[in-house]
Amino acid sequence: MKHPGEKALRKDVIATALKMSQSGLSPGRSGNVSCRFESGMLITPTGKRYEDTEPDDIVFVAGDGSVPEGQLQPSSEWHFHLATYHARPDRHAVVHTHSMHATVLACARRPIPPFHYMIGAVGGKDIPCVPYATFGTEELARHVATGLGECDACLMANHGQIVCGASLAYALELAFEVEVLAEQYYKLLVLGEVHLLDDAEMLRISERFKAYGRNAERNQKRR
């Protein structure tokens, strides 16, 4: 018997993936979405258009990486989604996109430094860029788990961006914010002059964002 809230979560995963795709944050079938569920997670299937995805198509992957029989195949990136949940027990949703400017910086293997106070929204002093590994591999999953160990967003070299959040809605919002910051930083690089905030200021900003994040999470729960 399915968990009473499972169908709603499956619908939320689809709705989040549709918003991600239709907004242009991750064009076509690129990107993937998951949420924590029981001992594992619910994740978008591989190779299926989000517009054609039904709640029963969303795949349950157990905490040990096993997939019960009778389901579609999960996204090829399920390894780094699961690794994120293991590394971050305080986070319950993961959104991965190939958004334009974040992907440009990822392909240049450039982290996003603290040029703007909104970098603090990810919970760290910058948005790191983790090393390259082939997509869908455990090696990439290990890199992502390290990158998201102390902050909620990172770039993946020659790939794209990934974020984690307390909810699907909050994770998607953060993915949009990362793309905005990536575009702003890219344009600063074109100008050739970037002024960075120091570690002490970023620590103060991160503390302020902790309170902001708690309020945002409460608002999400009321909806």
| Residue 86, pLDDT above cutoff 70 | yes
pLDDT band (50, 70, 90) for residue 214? low
- Enter the pTM of the model: 0.92
- Taking all residues of the chain, what is their mean pLDDT, rounded to a whole number? 93
SS3 100: helix
What does the domain layout of the chain look like in residue ranges?
A: 6-222
pLDDT of residue 4: 67
Q: Measured between alpha carbons, how far is 204 from 198 in angstroms, rounded to an integer?
A: 10
pLDDT tens-place string over residues 22-75: 999 988 788 999 999 999 999 999 989 999 999 999 999 999 999 999 999 999
CATH architecture of 6-222: 3-Layer(aba) Sandwich (3.40)
Which of 35, 79, 77, 39 is CA-nearest to residue 58? 35
From 6, 77, 138, 183, the catalytic residue:
77
pLDDT band (50, 70, 90) for residue 1? very low
Has 77 been annotated as catalytic? Answer: yes
Q: How far is CA 117 from CA 33, 106, 203, in A?
A: 27, 21, 10
pLDDT tens-place string over residues 146-196: 999 989 999 999 999 999 999 999 999 999 999 999 999 999 999 998 999
